[in-house]
């Protein structure tokens, strides 16, 4: 037995070593499994409100110095073609959080008349991050036009922070900075007279569509100051991440939520309203997820529908189906492919009480702007816009005849379609749509737009009041069920783009149609054709007097007033008195305001007595009445 003891001891030691080794392997495997769950990049979005790329020297030679944002760029990528899909807050932010085009899912109006549900089976993208183990925090602006649902944010408040997460938990943190918001330029006249700006007003560049006045220069200078203030605020957040030892584990996005905020920026579907600054800082520990050269500029086009899937891609989370965007960073996404992207879609509908239907396509160096109701001039009253003294002065100078052609465009009816070469005309004052040398490009862009809005499908070819009644309970389903009808309405709207002789038969059919919305768009196209469409005056009189749809009667009165000098007051005031729908009344009041403030300038006597009590509860109606009842 004694002779076997060394052998037994040896066997025991060997077994013990094998067990220990197996345990170590199990622990290593467990560590690997845990790291696959926990080792994900943190993602931070820092969003400045209401500023286009034109106000940062990093993107435009005339912009303000932003050293903290520039420092992000030194360790990341500058995106020279980043676009908000809409030039106003709630619509842009809803596009960001849903990754869906607003006119497809019913979120295109600001302020919303009704919260709409998300498309069936789809959630706001932070939900998917949270399900994958991320701590999601929003500080703190939401402003969504869609129903949020549960499980999107762990916290959304003015105190939200990544510091409240569990130890080692990856996080998605979003912070908005209101320092540059439009309201920062709603200063009173005494401020203009008594408070100096840090930026020298004589040093600023004034866009060619603005009058070069002391007021505009002061407003520009004040906004440059705000840009520099928000740069410091962004720097403070980056410093906090660094102090927490998180900077090299965190992918930081800085961008503006849409353009603005000098006049003809926020709220208007031009480059000044849609083209935003975007910088992405890439941390050392996650540079393998980014196929870009650090410190470089990316020329490919990205827009807000792409930001959600990009966050999911970087986090290694599956991107859901049913969205409109496409990731531009993450594993397997190549810089060369992103650089080949050259398309961005934009939209502007009712913003506050000002109604419109504008769609844009930026493709390569060209922007195509489709004004579906071009008689609604850009400068039509929007109460919130005209709080700004620069807006007020601009309109006063126009009314006194003291503006040049480029400066006057804002207050005149627009062409139904506009084509701009952004490389040679970055401020979009020279419309190439009538230039024979660009006829082929115009036709290409026109066809691209018509196909795109038909295929989407774009719900705005129905009035908002109709959507509120029949679509907003499930907008995407409504769009699918009515896609053929929408395509027909697009076709009728596009009759305004061809010579009248080519459009005549189609317009006649539309005006005789049993479908009220075909009659509606037929009248709009007739209004665009103007004098040439006078042969339809008698049919328009019939529609104005007796059409069963109030909005058709109003469009008929609008056509008659603008084309044949037929007084519109009786038809419009009767439609206002008849309706019990505040949304519908808001659209009617838009036509009234246009006909009163534009040429030839019809007088209207209007007060709360013209409305049913239920209609007066509508905010849009109240804003219009506030303006219309004031002394002009």
Active site residues: 89
588 and 572 in contact (C-beta within 8 Å)? yes
What is the CB neighbour count within 10 angstroms for residue 5? Answer: 9
Instruction: Compute the distance between CA of residue 559 and CA of residue 555 in angstroms, rounded to an integer.
Output: 6
Cα-based torsion angle of the residue sequence 235, 236, 242, 245 in order, rounded to the nearest 10 degrees: -150
Cα-based torsion angle of the residue sequence 595, 598, 602, 608 in order, rounded to the nearest 10 degrees: 60
| Bridge partners for 359 per DSSP | 347, 370
C-alpha pair distances (Å), 100 with each of 95, 253, 254, 615: 5, 20, 21, 31
Q: Which two tokens stand for residue 332?
A: 């397997």
What is the CB neighbour count within 10 angstroms for residue 6? Answer: 9
Cα atoms in the Cβ-side hemisphere of radius 13 Å centred on 415: 14
Instruction: Compute the distance between CA of residue 414 and CA of residue 86 in angstroms, rounded to an integer.
Output: 19
Cα-based torsion angle of the residue sequence 18, 23, 27, 33 in order, rounded to the nearest 10 degrees: 90
- Give exposure, 391-408, as e/b (b: 16+ Cβ within 10 Å): bebbbebbeeeebeebbb
Using DSSP's 3-state secondary structure scheme, residue 248 falls into helix
Instruction: Compute the distance between CA of residue 283 and CA of residue 293 in angstroms, rounded to an integer.
Output: 13
456 and 324 in contact (C-beta within 8 Å)? no
What is the CB neighbour count within 10 angstroms for residue 514? Answer: 6
Instruction: Compute the distance between CA of residue 559 and CA of residue 528 in angstroms, rounded to an integer.
Output: 9
Sheet arrangement for strand 76-83: 155-156, 135-139, 171-177, 42-48, 250-256, 275-281, 76-83, 296-303
């Amino acid at each position: 037995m004694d002779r076997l003891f060394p052998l037994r001891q040896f066997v025991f030691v060997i077994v013990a070593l094998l067990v220990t080794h197996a345990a170590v392997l199990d622990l290593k495997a467990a560590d690997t499994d845990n790291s696959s769950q926990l080792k994900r990049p943190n993602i931070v979005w820092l969003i400045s409100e209401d500023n286009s790329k034109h106000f940062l020297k990093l993107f435009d030679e005339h912009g303000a110095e932003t050293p903290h944002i520039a420092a992000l760029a030194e360790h990341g990528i500058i995106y020279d073609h980043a676009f908000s899909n809409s030039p106003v807050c709630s619509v842009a932010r809803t596009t960001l959080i849903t990754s869906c085009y607003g006119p497809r899912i019913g979120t295109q109006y600001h302020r919303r008349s009704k919260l709409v549900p998300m498309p069936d089976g789809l959630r706001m993208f932070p939900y998917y991050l949270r399900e994958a183990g991320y701590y999601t925090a929003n500080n703190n602006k939401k402003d969504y036009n869609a129903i949020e649902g549960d499980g999107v944010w762990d916290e959304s408040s003015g105190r939200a922070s990544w510091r409240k997460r569990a130890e080692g938990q990856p996080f998605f943190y979003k912070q908005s900075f209101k320092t540059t918001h439009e309201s920062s330029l709603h200063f009173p006249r005494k401020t203009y007279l008594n408070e100096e700006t840090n930026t020298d007003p004589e040093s600023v560049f004034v866009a060619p569509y603005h009058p070069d006045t002391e007021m505009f220069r002061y407003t520009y200078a004040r906004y440059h100051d705000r840009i520099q203030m928000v740069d410091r605020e962004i720097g403070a957040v980056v410093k906090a991440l660094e102090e927490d030892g998180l900077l090299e584990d965190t992918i930081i996005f800085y961008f503006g939520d849409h353009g603005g905020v000098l006049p003809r920026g926020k709220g208007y579907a031009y480059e000044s309203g849609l083209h935003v600054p975007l910088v992405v800082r890439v941390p050392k520990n996650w540079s393998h997820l980014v196929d870009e050269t650090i410190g470089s500029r990316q020329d490919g086009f990205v827009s807000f529908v792409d930001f959600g899937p990009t966050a999911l891609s970087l986090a290694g989370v599956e991107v859901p189906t049913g969205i409109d965007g496409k990731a531009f960073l993450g594993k397997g996404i190549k810089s060369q492919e992103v650089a080949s992207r050259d398309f961005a879609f934009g939209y502007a509908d009712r913003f506050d009480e000002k109604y419109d239907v504008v769609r844009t396509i930026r493709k390569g160096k060209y922007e195509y702007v489709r004004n579906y109701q071009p008689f609604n001039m850009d400068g039509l009253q929007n109460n919130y816009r005209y709080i700004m003294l620069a807006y007020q002065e601009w309109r006063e100078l126009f009314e006194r005849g003291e503006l040049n052609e480029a400066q006057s465009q804002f207050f005149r009816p627009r062409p139904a379609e506009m084509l701009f070469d952004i490389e040679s005309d970055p401020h979009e004052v020279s419309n190439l749509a009538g230039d024979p040398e660009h006829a082929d490009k115009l036709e290409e862009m026109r066809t691209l737009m018509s196909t795109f809005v038909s295929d989407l499908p774009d719900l705005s070819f129905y009035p908002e009041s109709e959507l509120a009644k029949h679509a907003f309970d499930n907008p995407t389903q409504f769009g699918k069920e009515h896609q053929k009808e929408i395509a027909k309405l697009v076709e009728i709207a596009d009759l305004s783009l061809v010579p009248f002789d080519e459009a005549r038969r189609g317009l006649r059919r539309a005006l005789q149609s049993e479908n009220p919305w075909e009659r509606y768009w037929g009248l709009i196209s007739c209004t665009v054709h103007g004098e040439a469409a006078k042969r339809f005056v008698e049919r328009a009189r019939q529609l104005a007097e007796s059409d069963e749809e109030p909005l058709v009667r109003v469009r008929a009165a609008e056509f008659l007033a603008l084309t044949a000098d037929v007084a519109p007051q009786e038809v419009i005031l009767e439609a206002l008195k008849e309706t019990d729908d505040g949304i519908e009344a808001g659209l009617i009041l838009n036509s009234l305001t246009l006909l009163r403030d534009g040429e030839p300038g019809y007088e209207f006597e209007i007060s709360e007595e013209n409305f049913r009590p239920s209609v007066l509860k509508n905010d849009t109606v109240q804003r219009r009445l506030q303006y219309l009842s004031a002394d002009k």
